Amino acid sequence: MGASFRLVPDEPLGHARELQEHADEVAGHARSSGAAVAGFPSVSNSVVRALTEMAERVGRSLSKDAGRAVEEMYRKAGTLAGDVVKRVTEADAENARRLIEVAERMGQNATRTVTGDAERTALTAERAGLRKRFADILDPKGETPAVRAYQDAEIRVDSARYPETAQHIQEAQSGTIWRGDASAQGAPAPSVLTIDRDGAKANRAESLRGIAPRGGEGLDRDEYPPAMFLEGGAGASVKYIDASDNRGAGSMMGSDLDGLPDGARIRIVVK
């Protein structure tokens, strides 16, 4: 499954406009004050501008790699930048130093090369931990959705590109639960799911139990909720759908979720 990826909006529209205006104001001040934004010719993210300005206030600097890592963190999440910018600009000196230190570590990790699955897994976990530390400094009580953007996100499944996957999601979320070729009404499957990669193998074994593969007919057994989520496994809806539809959607979802930590909450919607 897959498609566009963005923050689940929790803020009223008027407040969102106010926050974005604040972000624009901070970005404009950073440009006019000659902050080190010039060192990031490709960076347009107001979060990075605010972080750069904050670093100067405490006598530090933000490296290009750190700037790119922070930009990627919030660009990928599609978060409303204004709320994050507000938190950055209001950080006290101690938190400012800690943010810069974590950002620098993020930048160093972003440029590291790895060989082998074990090293790649360890690096992915370390990067997720640094992103969480960055968010924890800005929002220790977890009260600001935009700061937690990489944990509260939305996957939109394109019904034009993946019609059979999209239909199955809509059916399962409406309470039509499939077991191969047969369906029955039951409890609607949740639309908000929790990433649990370690449980994927066991979940898949449970959900597919008793449903024979039909690869020779060009069909895959599509699961909803997918096995990589905590809510998958026993009781999941499993429907035979076109293999190319299923695998294309699955590949895009994997790409969208790349780098998000276990425990991240994802809303699955069809467009």
pLDDT tens digit sequence for 220-238: 999 999 999 999 999 999 9
pLDDT of residue 77: 66
Is a pLDDT exceeding 50 seen at residue 157?
yes
Whether omega for the bond prior to residue 12 falls within 30 degrees of 0, making it cis, is no
Question: Is residue 44 very low, low, confident or very high in pLDDT (cuts 50, 70, 90)?
Answer: low
pLDDT of residue 38: 38
Is a pLDDT exceeding 60 seen at residue 132?
yes
Query: Which token pair is 50?
Result: 């605010």
Mean pLDDT of 238-262: 89
Q: Would you say 162 and 271 are in contact if contact means Cβ atoms under 8 Å apart?
A: no
Mean pLDDT of 238-252: 96
How many other β-carbons are positioned within 10 Å of the β-carbon of residue 238? 22
The more confident residue out of 266 and 43 is 266
Greatest Cα pair distance, the chain, in angstroms, is: 66
CA distance 221 to 237: 10
Mean pLDDT of 10-36: 43
Mean pLDDT of 9-24: 44
Is a pLDDT exceeding 70 seen at residue 52?
yes
pLDDT tens digit sequence for 65-116: 999 888 888 876 666 778 889 999 999 999 999 999 999 999 998 888 877 7
Is a pLDDT exceeding 70 seen at residue 150?
no
Query: Which token pair is 227?
Result: 């096995």
Query: What pTM was estimated for this model as a whole?
Result: 0.54
Is a pLDDT exceeding 90 seen at residue 127?
no
Is a pLDDT exceeding 60 seen at residue 29?
no
Question: Is residue 239 very low, low, confident or very high in pLDDT (cuts 50, 70, 90)?
Answer: very high
3-state SS string over the chain? CCCCEEECCCCCHHHHHHHHHHHHHHHHHHHHCCCHHHHCCCCCCHHHHHHHHHHHHCCCCCCHHHHHHHHHHHHHHCCCHHHHHHHHHHCCHHHHHHHHHHHHHHHHHHCCCCCCHHHHHHHHHHHHHHHHHHHHHHCCCCCCCCCCCCCEEEEEECCCCCHHHHHHHHHHHCCEEEEECEEEECCCCCCEEEECHHHHHHHHHHHHCCCCCCHHHCEEEEEECCCCECCCCCCCEEEEEEHHHHHHHHHHHHHHHCCCCCCCEEEEEEC
pLDDT tens digit sequence for 165-217: 999 999 999 999 999 999 999 999 999 888 999 899 999 999 999 999 999 99
